[in-house]
Amino acid sequence: MNAASEPLAGGRGPLDEPPEPLVDAVPTGRATAERTVLRLARPYLGRLVGAGLLAAATEFAGLALMATATWLLMSAAGRPPLDRLTVAIVAVRALAISRGVFRYTERLAGHDAVLRMITDVRARVFASLAARRTAAHRSGDVLSRLVSDVEAVQDLLLRVLVPGSAAALVGVLAVAGAALISPPAAGVLTAGLLVAGVALPALATAVTRRNAAEVAPLRGALATDAIDLTHGAADLAAFGATDAALHAAEQRAGRMARLERRLAATGFAVDAAGVLVAGLTAAAVVLAALAADVPGVLVGVLAVGTLAAVEVTLALVSAARQWTQLRPGLTRVAALLDVDLPTAPRAAADPGANGTGGPDRSGAHELRFAEVTVRYRAGAAPALDRVSLDLPAGRRIAVVGPSGAGKSTLAAVLTGAVRPTSGRVTLDGRDLSAYAEEELPRAVGGLLAEAYVFHATVRENLLLGRAGASDEELIAATSAAGLLEWVHAQPAGWDTLVGEEGGQLSGGQRQRLALARALLAAPPVLVLDEPTEGLDPTAADAVLASALGATPVGHSVLLISHRLSGLAELDEIVVLDGGRVIQRGRHAELVTAPGWYRDQWLLQAAAERGYLALTP
Ligand SMILES: Nc1ncnc2c1ncn2[C@@H]1O[C@H](COP(=O)(O)OP(=O)(O)OP(=O)(O)O)[C@@H](O)[C@H]1O
């Protein structure tokens, strides 16, 4: 089984309820998510502040345009000499044009900053997901993270912070402008703006929060449904479970639709309250201005200006609503980003940057397991129970044992995908956990359980093992994996497309391709988890022998296998059962000693030679 993919989480079937909200183990405080985003935004702060000021200028130009146009219209009604209106006429024209220009430049500056930043965020999220081989994520959740959660970062800046701060600034300027005309009216305006800019956003937040908390996990569950229903379609059909799975997915989609409808309805109610507040504030401002004997034209200016100012401030309502909806996504994305925030995407980092002088591909390495125990869940039986193992340079070990014995877990510990609950795993005397995540694969790697074959050409799939490998190296690895003849037989040769998840290959071909890639990568400690799975016994023997033969001298090998055939040349065979080492030694010793190995050897030999071979 693939111990690396979901070590801590129980799997979720397509018929089950959606999982709990997927918030990572990294605890995030209330403002931490926003702080993380702001820290990421720091390099682009100048552009973002510029965008905020331009947004404020746009809104202010709109407000000033309304106020000036009102003054112009009302003054013109009294037929004054034209020269008294000239400045206002020019101002109206200038404000109308500048508003468009400000809006355009604000969008340009804001999107420029955010798109630059989001590229960085995506790279970090991707690197973090790739590095967290132990994370308990389903592909649907991961997909939803990469898409919607990263968009949350973008929306926080473009739809919350920039327009929110612009609205607040314009509100303050509007009050200052009103105070020049009439302080009492400015007081009333302040009260109206506080209702529109503080009370209503708080109300919107409260009504949105509950729904948003339900919507986010549902969205993740729906993404997982989509993947389960497409990738698992054949299995669902085979078990007659398609209808039930579709029904469960439809129910979730229905629940999502209901939640979104409720969200929209409450949103409309709050928006309607905003319009009411604008009207009431304008009426109150007019009354206050009249009571203060403000001239009629200026009362009109105050009324229209108030309507415009409240409308601008109401942007804070949608900003608050957005913010509430974005929080779960922001929290998740921040939890991923927080881990390695201070560094740039680490693949590009200096190989020795961890201060450990990390391992390299070429050197020999010594791996040691000392009393390693792995427990996937507290209270559960250990998957590995005090296992000790030495893998010095050049040594070749096989780990065998019945299903569920802990073989794949051992490989996962070796590659750093699973951390031991107790005990130590060291590489050249240094704890495995001390190595940076991207350093380890250079020393330890290979063919792990359920190796992924990409929807690309044979060559591209192979080059993932070692970018820049020569044609001779490709041929050697492919030949050792027993795939060369097939490649040559294809019309497109090395450029043959293998289909999604290698779907255009047979199971055996897929396995050979993955093995060839592992051989090409040739890490000093090569892990081969069931390299001949899916091959018939004769082919399996041949491939195993040629794969071991293709491993450079001085490189060590840890082979995991159900089959006991072809292990005679190995330096040690470790038999696991229930996570414990129950036997160890060379093949020649183990086949003569009573125990699991000898029994299994006889059984397999009998099965492979056929039942008749046992009877004289
Ligand atoms: N991700 C996981 N979460 C919880 N338990 C797990 C996980 N992976 C493995 N286990 C449990 O750990 C034990 C060892 O599993 P492991 O996959 O290492 O066995 P294995 O020897 O490789 O089996 P197989 O030969 O069938 O692949 C099993 O009891 C299994 O149920």
Which range marks the domain in which residue 95 is found? 32-342
Alpha carbon nearest to ligand 1 atom 5, residue: 376
CATH number at residue 336: 1.20.1560.10
Residue 35, both tokens: 């702080």
Instruction: Calculate how far, in angstroms, residue 372's C-alpha sits from the geometric centre of ligand 1.
Output: 15
Q: CA 354: distance to chain centroid?
A: 24
Q: Is residue 6 part of a domain?
A: no
Q: Which of 408, 532, 558, 581 to mutate to test the pocket of ligand 1 (most atoms within 8 A of CB)?
A: 408
Instruction: Calculate how far, in angstroms, residue 131's C-alpha sits from the geometric centre of ligand 1.
Output: 21
230 lies in the same domain as 308: yes
Smallest Cα–Cα separation from 314: which of 271, 348, 347, 281? 271
Alpha carbon nearest to ligand 1 atom 8, residue: 3
Q: Is residue 307 part of a domain?
A: yes
Q: Is residue 253 part of a domain?
A: yes
Instruction: Calculate how far, in angstroms, residue 559's C-alpha sits from the geometric centre of ligand 1.
Output: 17
Alpha carbon nearest to ligand 1 atom 29, residue: 404
Instruction: Calculate how far, in angstroms, residue 351's C-alpha sits from the geometric centre of ligand 1.
Output: 33
Q: Which of 5, 372, 409, 558 to mutate to test the pocket of ligand 1 (most atoms within 8 A of CB)?
A: 409
Half-sphere exposure (Cβ direction) of 20: Cα atoms closer than 13 Å: 6
Number of domains observed in the structure of the chain: 2
The pLDDT value recorded for residue 81 is: 76
One-character DSSP codes across 154-180: HHIIIIIIHHHHHHHHHHHHHHHHHHH
Instruction: Calculate how far, in angstroms, residue 499's C-alpha sits from the geometric centre of ligand 1.
Output: 29
Q: Is residue 173 part of a domain?
A: yes
Burial category of 100 from C-beta neighbours within 10 Å (exposed 0-12, middle 13-18, buried 19 and up): exposed
d(CA 419, CA 375): 9
241 lies in the same domain as 299: yes
Supply the DSSP symbol for 222: H
137: CB partners within 8 A, 6+ apart: 22, 129, 145
d(CA 247, CA 239): 15
Alpha carbon nearest to ligand 1 atom 18, residue: 406
Q: Is residue 404 part of a domain?
A: yes
242 lies in the same domain as 313: yes
Alpha carbon nearest to ligand 1 atom 24, residue: 403
162 lies in the same domain as 299: yes
200 lies in the same domain as 307: yes
Judge whether 407 and 400 are in contact, CB under 8 Å.
yes
* β partners of residue 452: none
The pLDDT value recorded for residue 333 is: 78
Instruction: Calculate how far, in angstroms, residue 382's C-alpha sits from the geometric centre of ligand 1.
Output: 10
602 lies in the same domain as 548: yes
Instruction: Calculate how far, in angstroms, residue 469's C-alpha sits from the geometric centre of ligand 1.
Output: 34
pLDDT, tens digit (0-9, with 9 covering 90-100), for 486-515: 999 989 888 888 776 667 778 888 888 989
Instruction: Calculate how far, in angstroms, residue 1's C-alpha sits from the geometric centre of ligand 1.
Output: 6
253 lies in the same domain as 327: yes
d(CA 445, CA 491): 32
Alpha carbon nearest to ligand 1 atom 14, residue: 406
What interface predicted TM-score (ipTM) does this complex get?
0.95
273 lies in the same domain as 418: no
One-character DSSP codes across 114-166: HHHHHHHHHHHHHHHHHH-TT----HHHHHHIIIIIHHHHHHIIIIIIHHHHH
Domain end: 342, 357, 378, which one? Answer: 342
CATH number at residue 405: 3.40.50.300
The pLDDT value recorded for residue 17 is: 40
Nearest atom, ligand 1, residue 374 CA: 12
Q: Which of 1, 375, 558, 580 to mutate to test the pocket of ligand 1 (most atoms within 8 A of CB)?
A: 1
Alpha carbon nearest to ligand 1 atom 27, residue: 1
Instruction: Calculate how far, in angstroms, residue 3's C-alpha sits from the geometric centre of ligand 1.
Output: 6
Alpha carbon nearest to ligand 1 atom 13, residue: 383
295 lies in the same domain as 431: no
Alpha carbon nearest to ligand 1 atom 23, residue: 404
Instruction: Calculate how far, in angstroms, residue 403's C-alpha sits from the geometric centre of ligand 1.
Output: 8
d(CA 448, CA 526): 10
Helices (H) and strands (E) in the chain, counts: 21, 10
Instruction: Calculate how far, in angstroms, residue 188's C-alpha sits from the geometric centre of ligand 1.
Output: 69
Nearest atom, ligand 1, residue 7 CA: 1
pLDDT, tens digit (0-9, with 9 covering 90-100), for 5-46: 333 333 333 334 433 333 333 334 445 777 877 788 888 888
Name the helix (H) or strand (E) containing 440: helix 440-443
288 lies in the same domain as 430: no
Instruction: Calculate how far, in angstroms, residue 385's C-alpha sits from the geometric centre of ligand 1.
Output: 13
Nearest atom, ligand 1, residue 560 CA: 22
The dihedral sign for the CA sequence 112, 115, 116, 118? positive
Instruction: Calculate how far, in angstroms, residue 408's C-alpha sits from the geometric centre of ligand 1.
Output: 7
Q: Is residue 100 part of a domain?
A: yes
Instruction: Calculate how far, in angstroms, residue 423's C-alpha sits from the geometric centre of ligand 1.
Output: 19
For the chain, which residues score pLDDT lower than 70?
Answer: 1-31, 128-146, 212, 338-364, 437-438, 450, 500-502, 609-616
d(CA 94, CA 61): 9
Residue with tokens 């698992």: 232
Alpha carbon nearest to ligand 1 atom 30, residue: 404
311 lies in the same domain as 379: no
Alpha carbon nearest to ligand 1 atom 1, residue: 7
The residues lining ligand 1, judged by C-beta closer than 6 Å to any ligand atom, are 1, 3, 6-7, 376, 383, 401, 403-409
316 lies in the same domain as 416: no
Alpha carbon nearest to ligand 1 atom 3, residue: 7
Name the helix (H) or strand (E) containing 109: helix 86-131
**Main-chain phi, psi angles of 26, to 5 degrees:** -70, 115
Judge whether 304 and 62 are in contact, CB under 8 Å.
no
Q: Is residue 476 part of a domain?
A: no
Half-sphere exposure (Cβ direction) of 264: Cα atoms closer than 13 Å: 6
